[in-house]
């Protein structure tokens, strides 16, 4: 009797759960469950050394142990360690000197854009306010000018691509954080291309891992509210200004859009916007 009642109770609860649409809908579950990612040995080795350097445990100018010894300490093979060191050198975290060894570098003087991703990883993806403010200031400086130039140099092909993106924004699943971050990146990437400046697209492409990290957090926090619609409305206004070749208005809309995003992102890390243009 006990087992029968238990089975009935479970079935009854399950039926109520289904009738109510579940405690969480399928769309909500999609936003909670993200693909699993397993680091390779090289990535794990790179991240370990990054943290030791960025935390200051490995000092600037310090010589690392010989590769054989360091590989044994980390529990990896020498080829894996060497690949990790090459990655760190490309980021500006270490300098490899033939026949002398590997030395910790000052990333402020030797770092590249690849360092941005390393800094995000070091903070475990969290938004550190001074770092976030630096990123937002850089975007404001570069992308306002990008929008101004796009209004001057855009071509009919660029306008067609902008219209296609706007149509995709109307159809995108606003519960899909990854899709939202990707389409937003493509919009800003197209702006850089339309500017006619050969360097701007390369900069924003290098910036993509950090850019999508920030925008994913932004969109995830605002699922279901009106902020995402506000972003897409900024996009429509900007495309209209670019189509009219109004450079001043394009720059103004971009500035307003970036400050709109900055206010929300700073609120995520508990910070205040003390800068009038941020």
For residue 12, is it within any domain?
Answer: no
Tell me the whole-structure pTM to 2 decimals: 0.69
CATH number at residue 93: 1.10.10.10
For residue 32, is it within any domain?
Answer: no
CATH number at residue 131: 1.20.120.530
Last residue of a domain, one of 110, 143, 162: 110
pLDDT score for 135: 84
For residue 92, is it within any domain?
Answer: yes
Residues spanned by the domain of 227: 127-268
pLDDT score for 126: 61
Minimal CA–CA distance to 248: which of 115, 152, 123? 152
- The predicted-structure confidence for 208-248, as pLDDT tens digits, reads as follows 888 888 899 899 988 888 899 999 999 999 999 999 999 99
pLDDT score for 128: 65
What DSSP line would sit under the chain, residue for residue? -HHHHHHHHHHHHHHHHHHTT-SS-HHHHHHH--------HHHHHHHHHHHHHHTTSSPTTPBPPPHHHHHHHHTS-HHHHHHHHHHHHHHTSEEEETTTEEEE--HHHH--THHHHHHHHHTTT---HHHHHHHHHHHHHHHHHHHHHHHHH--HHHHHHHHHHHHHHHHS-TT-HHHHHHHHHHHHHHHHHHT--SHHHHHHHHTHHHHHHHHHHHHHHTTTSSHHHHHHHHHHHHHHHHHTT-HHHHHHHHHHHHHHHHHHHHHHTT----STT-
Task: Read off the pLDDT band of 127 (50, 70, 90).
Answer: low
Number of domains the chain contains: 2
pLDDT score for 157: 98
Q: Is residue 37 predicted with pLDDT exceeding 70? A: no
Q: How far apart are CA 187 and CA 183, in angstroms?
A: 6
- The predicted-structure confidence for 1-26, as pLDDT tens digits, reads as follows 444 443 434 443 444 334 444 444 44
- The predicted-structure confidence for 167-205, as pLDDT tens digits, reads as follows 999 999 999 999 999 999 999 999 999 999 999 999 899
Q: Encode burial over 206-220: b for 16+ CB neighbours within 10 A, e otherwise.
A: ebbebbbbbbbbbbb
Q: How far apart are CA 22 and CA 32, in angstroms?
A: 15
Average pLDDT of the residues of the chain? 83
pLDDT score for 34: 56
Task: Read off the pLDDT band of 134 (50, 70, 90).
Answer: confident
Q: How far apart are CA 95 and CA 97, in angstroms?
A: 6
pLDDT score for 123: 59
- The predicted-structure confidence for 65-88, as pLDDT tens digits, reads as follows 999 999 999 999 999 999 999 999
Do 176 and 250 belong together in one domain?
yes
């Amino acid at each position: 009797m006990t087992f029968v009642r238990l089975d009935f109770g479970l079935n009854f609860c399950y039926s109520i759960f289904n009738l109510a649409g579940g405690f969480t809908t399928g769309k909500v579950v999609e936003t909670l469950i993200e693909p699993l990612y397993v680091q390779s040995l090289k990535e794990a080795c790179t991240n370990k050394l990054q943290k030791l350097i960025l935390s200051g445990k490995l000092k600037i100018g310090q010589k690392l142990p010989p590769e054989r010894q360091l590989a044994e300490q980390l529990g990896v093979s020498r080829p894996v360690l060497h690949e990790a060191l090459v990655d760190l050198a490309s980021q500006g975290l270490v300098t490899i000197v033939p026949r002398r060894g590997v030395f910790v570098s000052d990333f402020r003087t030797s770092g590249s854009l690849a360092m941005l991703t390393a800094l995000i990883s070091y903070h475990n993806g969290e938004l550190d306010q001074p770092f976030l403010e630096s990123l937002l200031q850089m975007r404001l400086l570069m992308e306002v000018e990008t929008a101004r130039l796009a209004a001057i140099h855009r071509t009919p092909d660029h306008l067609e691509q902008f219209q296609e993106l706007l149509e995709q924004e109307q159809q995108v699943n606003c519960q899909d954080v990854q899709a939202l971050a990707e389409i937003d990146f493509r919009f800003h990437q197209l702006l850089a291309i339309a500017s006619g400046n050969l360097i701007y697209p390369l900069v924003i492409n290098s910036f993509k891992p950090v850019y999508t990290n920030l925008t994913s957090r932004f969109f995830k926090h605002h699922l279901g509210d009106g902020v995402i619609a506000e972003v897409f409305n900024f996009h429509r206004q900007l495309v209209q200004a670019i189509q009219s070749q109004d450079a001043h208005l394009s720059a103004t809309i971009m500035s307003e859009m970036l400050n709109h995003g900055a206010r929300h992102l700073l609120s995520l890390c508990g910070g205040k916007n003390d800068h009038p243009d941020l």
